[in-house]
Amino acid sequence: MTDTYDASTDVIDRIAGLTPGSAAHATRHKRAKVAAATQRSYDVLFDPALPDLPLADRLCVALYACTLSKAPALAAHYAQQLAAIGAARAVIDQIAQGATSDAAFEPPRLRAMLTFTRTLIEAPIEGDKAALERLRDAGIATPAVVVLAQLIAFLSYQIRLTAGLQALQALNETEAA
């Protein structure tokens, strides 16, 4: 993983449809260090070498969080990333449809992570000790739980940022017409 920021590979800009020179792009990049830090967070959280939580699991969680949050462009991005690493199409499709109770989620580790994701996305106040114990009971060690929680927090930020930028971009396009 590189520590430099390359604006041409910025996931948020691409997903939100921002182009250099547009008002929404200029607004986002007014604080370049924030845009760079967001991309670096993405790069770290989806680095295949990140220990404790396999990349496939992280991408499944990302796809599910985006599906639950009705963020289709981001969901498509994560589905594509899953396909690129060879994830089973049936698993990708089930997660993209919000179905997580099928036998494809055996052993229960992935199902537990997706259930925890749903909890933090839809009812974060229920992300309590009992929710954490269910992860432990599914065989997920504490370091992996920490990564999982950080990932879900980042995804919530990414989803909201992208939605806001898409709305700003649409408003700017409407005003220009």
Instruction: Please provide the DSSP assignment of the chain as one string.
Output: --SS--GGG-HHHHHHT--TTSHHHHHHGGGHHHHHHHHHHHHHHT-TT-SSS-HHHHHHHHHHHHHHTT-HHHHHHHHHHHHHTT--HHHHHHHHTT---SGGG-SHHHHHHHHHHHHHHH-GGG-SHHHHHHHHHTT--HHHHHHHHHHHHHHHHHHHHHHHHHHHHHHHHHHH-
**Residue 99: what pLDDT?**
82
Q: pTM of the full predicted structure?
A: 0.92
pLDDT at 108: 85
154-165 per-position pLDDT tens digit: 999 999 999 999
What is the arithmetic mean of pLDDT over 53-69?
Answer: 97
Tens digit of pLDDT for each residue in 13-52? 999 999 899 899 999 999 889 999 999 999 999 999 999 9
| Domains by residue range for the chain, with CATH | 7-176 (1.20.1290.10)
Checking if the pLDDT of 128 tops 80, the result is yes
